Amino acid sequence: MLKYSLIISFCLLGFTSKIQTDEVKSFELGSRLCKVIIKGESENEAIFVSLHDNENTSVIAFKEVSEQINRPILIELQQNGGRNLKYGFNGKDYLIDPNRIFSEIGLENSLKKNNNTYPKEIIAPIKDFASKLLAIILPKSRLNYIVAIHNNSNDNFSVRYYAHSSIAEKTYINPNEDVDDFFYVTERSDFEFFKSKKRNVILQSKNVFDDGSLSVYCGRNNLPYINIEAQDGHKEVQKQMIKEAYFLIKSKQP
């Protein structure tokens, strides 16, 4: 009996500590579910966000440096392990890029791009999901930052993609750095900071086309935002980049 109650106590203790460190919210995407996992303690400086479920290097990098940077909160979307979320409707799955849901025009363009056809009925519930997600992400004060963590692969886009695009107001490329590792910021002073550190960096244009991404949402709402983008597998670089962004943001605290 003693042995039995010890096992129960142990399980209860384990269960309690898990609830304290990880909060898991579930959202319905039609017949599918999506999890939003909230980890960490401090929301004083920055809220970190991982939207793409297949970009695992960024999440591992974050976890490995978290202790050195005051354990900031990480909000992580999880569903099927892929880049896109699946919305289940009438026995079919429709693909949604979770970083294209923060405006109606962006969402509709992205649904067109990722699906041959889609029913109009799924738009309203996805918009509702986006606003619930923003209600979790949006920081409590204007001095707080939203820091997105992303990974790309060697053959898709890089800092060079932005250099001649209307998305970027300014671009700095260090020829000695991998073009797939870069910062993407909405504040001019942050652009100047990373440039002074010889990091690849893009300043988002104020007139950027609304693609429904979190960066454009932040830009339009004057919320300071940094995206830390690294090539898949560049864990050590991304760890260093996360620390640099964190200490920059911390240095701006009153």
Q: Which residues bind Zn ion (CB under 5 A)?
A: 52, 55, 150
Closer residue to Zn ion (CB): 31 or 154? 154
Rounded to the nearest whole angstrom, what is the least distance from the CB of residue 2 to Zn ion in the complex?
51
- The β-bridge relationship of strands 145-152 and 201-204 is unpaired
Task: Identify whether the C-beta of residue 98 lies closer than 8 Å to the C-beta of residue 127.
Answer: no
The CB-of-76 to Zn ion minimum distance in angstroms stands at 12
Sequence-separated (6 or more) residues with CB below 8 Å from residue 176: 198
- Nearest-approach distance from CB 167 to Zn ion, in angstroms: 15
Which of the 8 DSSP states describes residue 205?
Answer: P
Smallest separation (angstroms) from Zn ion to the CB of 152: 7
Residue 45 has a CB neighbour count (10 Å cut-off) of: 23
Residue closer to Zn ion, measured from CB, 53 or 187: 53
Q: 127 phi and psi, to 5 degrees?
A: -60, -40
* Non-local CB neighbours of 147 within 8 Å, separated by 6+ positions: 46, 47, 48, 49, 225, 226, 227, 228, 242, 245, 246, 249
Q: How far is the CB of 232 from Zn ion (least distance, A)?
A: 10
**Which residue, 149 or 203, has its beta carbon nearer to Zn ion?**
149
Residue 191 is given by DSSP the state H
- If one counts every other C-beta atom within 10 angstroms of the C-beta of residue 169, the result is 16
Question: In this complex, which beta carbon is closest to Zn ion, that of residue 55 or of residue 211?
Answer: 55
Q: Which is nearer to Zn ion, 92 or 160 (CB)?
A: 160
